[in-house]
Amino acid sequence: MNEFLEKEEQIVRMLKTVFDPEIPVNIYDLGLIYKIDLADEGNLTIDMTLTAPNCPAVDFIVEDVRMKMEAIEGIKKVDINIVFDPPWDKDMMSEEAKLELGFL
C-alpha cells in the first residue's frame, strides 16, 4: 500500500477515537467529517460539522481532533474548518452508528 493511503488510514483511525461527549459514537461514524485533505508537505485540512450548530462541545471536539491529528507522524500543520453546508442529518451516519443509537 502506498504511503499516502497508509497516512489516510491513520487519520481515519485516529478520527474514530474522537467522540462528542454527549453521544456514544465517534465523529467519523456519525458522519461529521466532510473532507480530509492531506497535502504533500504534511498540511492537513479537515472540514467537519456538528450535530447541531450550537453544540456546546465544539471546542472540546475540535481540540481533540487537532491533538490527535498532530500526533500522527508526518503531519506538520492541521486546519479544522467547521462547516454547516450541507446540514448534518442522521442519514450521514454509518450503519454501525445507526445501530448503536437505535436508529436501525
Q: pTM score, two decimals? A: 0.92
Q: Is residue 38 part of a domain?
A: yes
CB 79 within 8 A of CB 46: yes
Q: What is the pLDDT of residue 1?
A: 56
Q: Is residue 55 part of a domain?
A: yes
Q: Is residue 54 part of a domain?
A: yes
At 39, which CATH number?
A: 3.30.300.130
Q: Is residue 41 part of a domain?
A: yes
Q: Is residue 93 part of a domain?
A: no
pLDDT 10s digits, 33-69: 999 999 988 999 999 999 888 988 999 999 999 999 9
Q: Is residue 75 part of a domain?
A: yes
Q: What is the pLDDT of residue 32?
A: 97
Structural domain of residue 28, as residue ranges? 3-83
Q: Is residue 99 part of a domain?
A: no
CA dist., res. 62 & res. 92, Å (int): 19
Across the range 2-30, mean pLDDT stands at 92
CA dist., res. 58 & res. 20, Å (int): 8
DSSP annotation string for 19-35: B-TTSSSBTTTTT-EEE
Across the chain, what does the average pLDDT equal?
93
Residue 72, pLDDT > 60, answer yes
CB 53 within 8 A of CB 84: yes
